[in-house]
Structure 1
Amino acid sequence: MTATDLRPQAAPPRAARVATWMYFGLNGFAVGMWVVHIPSIEQKTGITHSTLGLLLLVLGGAAFTGMQVAGPLVDKLGQRRLVPAAGILLGVALAGPGLATNWWTLGLTLILIGFGNGSIDVGMNAQAVVVERGYPRPIMAAFHAMWSIGGAIAAIVGAATLRADVPPEVTLASAGVLCIVLSLVASRFLLEATVPPEDDVAEGGQRAKPSAKLVWALGGLAFGLMLSEGVANDWAALHFRDILGTSVSTAAYAYGAFAVAMTVGRFLTDRVAAVVGPAAIVRWGAAMAAVGLTLVIVVPWVPVALVGWAVFGLGLAGGVPQLFTAAGNLDPRSSGALMARVVGLGYVGLLAGPALIGGLAHWMPLNIAFILPVVLCVLTFFGGPVLKSPAVKKDVS
């Protein structure tokens, strides 16, 4: 089987690549717009911090459910149907928090946001795998970088509208309409994965399925890397404030160093992966991340800690895209379902990381609690060779 066999001709690969960039960007933008407005929505609905925390868990659960539902639907209905539908659902749902008046109306809208976000997450990653098959080199990491760019744009737009006292319902509804329009515009350029007849039959009259152990191994690596990413998202600034004693404004630089390094790293990863291979990206990226976070743990100087958070972000930048590509290429006939498992496990890690560190911080200093993601990065270094398995490859023969 060759890459050409798997490449449908519904749209030129370059057009499909741009369309997929748009979906990653609009997803990051939609999530960012919600996050920026959390404080104002909390105040408007009159809910407490504890209630908000429970509702955010509901959102996370809905996202995980959306991933598991969308995976098989991608394989059954096709990506050109599911991805735009998920983008439209996310756009419609995004208007909801601005219209919510109490905890239960907010909860209902967050269920829709979570489900839409989980669905488009699986769908757009599956589409990215299909688009990548039309290229002679890796391009997955750049898609993930576009998600980060979308989130950054949301932060800028959200801050500007909040400063101008634009009502949240107006801003979120407008952002939702933009997501719907972009989903419709980009939909016509998506590719559809196809499997040639000769690939349907393998030895014994049936195509061999990838082992569950291999899928779980990829999912476990995604869990560890995304848990580490979640730790940086929620605790980097607090580490600067509580452990290093900086001001709130200086503390913001910690997460900024991590986020900028991760975004830049994702734009660079594809070129490096084409030379060294995906296993090396996962392994040595995890090693780099472990070194960076170790600096954060042991060195109490702000400049060195900033370097540590940046190295941590650079190391984590390329690993997850390689794992998603591997999952999507295990079996083109069920790439959506397989990717849903790996993406879902990674998402659980992203949600669990901040909570686990918070629990550990009750018993030890915050920087010591960071040993957990360091250990996971080290385990990822030793588990990375799973990407060298014959079943985990992109066939370009």
Structure 2
Amino acid sequence: MTATDVRVAPPKAARVATWMYFGLNGFAIGMWVVHIPSIEHTTGITHSTLGLLLLVLGAAAFTGMQVAGPLVDKIGQRRLVPAAGIVLGISLAGPGLATNWWTLGLALILVGFGNGAIDVGMNAQAVVVERGYPRPIMAAFHAMWSIGGAIAAVVGAATLRADVPTELTLALAGVLCIVLSLIASRFLLEATIEEEDSPEGERTKPPAKLVWALGGLAFGLMLSEGVANDWAALHFRDILGTTVSTAAFAYGAFAVAMTVGRFLTDRVAAAVGPAAIVRWGAAMAAVGLTVVIVVPWVPVALVGWAVFGLGLAGGVPQLFTAAGNLDPRSSGALMARVVGLGYVGLLAGPALIGGLAHWMPLNIAFILPVVLCVLTFFGGPILKSKDPVARSEEPAVRSAK
């Protein structure tokens, strides 16, 4: 079998366009997160109701991923990715207009669905763009998601301080996402597959066990990431006894280290391969979080959270690339499974740690993600069975006029 990627834009333009989609996705979700307190106040809901609505958002995102995956393979990325970006942009105004729990719930269903759809679509597009390069570039795309979230935090803080109405801020942010989606759409690549069937006329599909194994690794790594997102600051406040302002540095150290790590990962992956990134990154993360568990001193714990973030930085992008390259004919559907399982882990992590924290100190509950990172270290070699960075010296690509 031979595969030919038909380019509809120069590779560098497609790369920048894909950066834009990752950035706008991070920005959109970041704007929602920043405004959660004000939306909670406006709608008059309790913390427990908000928790249930966040589960609704997560379920809608997972549904969006499973719907978008097969659609990517059926209608193509140049149609699905911009459409998902437009849906996400339109949906962003919804939470700001909500007046009670059920209107907020309806708004979050649309936000979640759009977020899930664009998540699968832009990752599938990133795989296609990466095939035209002689080295890995996937991790940098994920770093742009973090940059988008950081921009949202700054913009959101500024608008809240200036008393700009939440509904206006989110509506304008949504318009920006729609405009960027439309601008970037013309530079996306599309992949077409030319197949040479086997003598028996059968199509070789990737082993289901391999797909689920990649999804399992993504689940473990993204569960660990979710733990840091929701519990790093609380660890500093409740276990180490710091002030709220100091506690914020715990998550900050993790987030900055992860973002920097993602910008560095691609170069390292080109030299050592994806399996090594996943394995030794997971080992580094396990060491970093172990330091957090056992060391009671704030400066050392900060280093531990940073090492944890640096270790987790590169693993998930390698797993997504591997899934997207298992079978280019069904890249979207395969990525939907792996991305979906990873997203389930991201949602489940904070909840699992919260449940364990009822029975044991919070830092002891962190043993769960440590164990998952260790298991990822031993499971990492499965990427060698389908090396996503292996490329021919003369890739079969051509430009479409």
Contact 2:281 2:315 in 1 (8 A): yes
Aligned-residue identity in percent:
91
TM-score, length of structure 2 as denominator length: 0.95
Contact 1:4 1:134 in 2 (8 A): no
Q: What are the superposed Cα offsets for residues 314-360 of structure 1, whole Å, 9 maximum, x if unpaired?
A: 00000000000000000000000000000000000000000000000
For 2:372 and 2:103, how far apart are their aligned partners in 1?
38
For 1:179 and 1:240, how far apart are their aligned partners in 2?
35
Of residues 207-216 and 382-391 in structure 1, the stretch that sits farther from structure 2 once superposed is 382-391
For 2:250 and 2:270, how far apart are their aligned partners in 1?
31
**Ranges of 4+ aligned residues in structure 1 off by more than 2 Å:** 1-7, 198-203, 394-397
For 1:395 and 1:331, how far apart are their aligned partners in 2?
22
Instruction: Tell whether 2:271 aligns with 1:275.
Output: yes
Contact 1:92 1:177 in 2 (8 A): yes
Aligned counterpart for 2:356 among listed residues 345, 360, 365: 360
Q: What are the superposed Cα offsets for residues 52-74 of structure 1, whole Å, 9 maximum, x if unpaired?
A: 11100000000000000000000
- Change in CA separation of 1:378 and 1:42 when aligned onto 2, cut-off 3 Å: same
Instruction: Tell whether 2:389 aligns with 1:391.
Output: no
- Change in CA separation of 1:6 and 1:278 when aligned onto 2, cut-off 3 Å: farther
- Change in CA separation of 1:81 and 1:46 when aligned onto 2, cut-off 3 Å: same
For 1:360 and 1:202, how far apart are their aligned partners in 2?
55
- Secondary structure of the 2:135 match is coil
Aligned counterpart for 1:343 among listed residues 321, 339, 345: 339
Contact 1:2 1:396 in 2 (8 A): no
- Change in CA separation of 1:258 and 1:3 when aligned onto 2, cut-off 3 Å: farther
Residue 207 of structure 1 deviates from its aligned partner by 2.1
For 1:388 and 1:2, how far apart are their aligned partners in 2?
21
Q: What are the superposed Cα offsets for residues 193-251 of structure 1, whole Å, 9 maximum, x if unpaired?
A: 111xx445575x12200011000000000000000000000000000000000000000
- How many residues align? The count is 391
For 1:73 and 1:144, how far apart are their aligned partners in 2?
22
- Secondary structure of the 1:6 match is strand
Q: Which runs of 5+ in 2 are unaligned?
A: 386-394
For 1:194 and 1:330, how far apart are their aligned partners in 2?
15
TM-score, length of structure 1 as denominator length: 0.96
For 1:59 and 1:320, how far apart are their aligned partners in 2?
22
- Change in CA separation of 1:275 and 1:304 when aligned onto 2, cut-off 3 Å: same
Residue 6 of structure 1 deviates from its aligned partner by 6.6
- Change in CA separation of 1:6 and 1:289 when aligned onto 2, cut-off 3 Å: farther
For 2:308 and 2:343, how far apart are their aligned partners in 1?
19
Contact 1:3 1:396 in 2 (8 A): no
Q: What are the superposed Cα offsets for residues 152-184 of structure 1, whole Å, 9 maximum, x if unpaired?
A: 000000000000000000100000000000000
- Change in CA separation of 1:100 and 1:382 when aligned onto 2, cut-off 3 Å: same
Residue 147 of structure 1 deviates from its aligned partner by 0.1
Q: Which runs of 5+ in 1 are unaligned?
A: none
Contact 1:282 1:381 in 2 (8 A): yes
Contact 2:6 2:190 in 1 (8 A): no
Match of 2:140 in 1: 142
- Secondary structure of the 1:3 match is strand
- Change in CA separation of 1:17 and 1:5 when aligned onto 2, cut-off 3 Å: closer
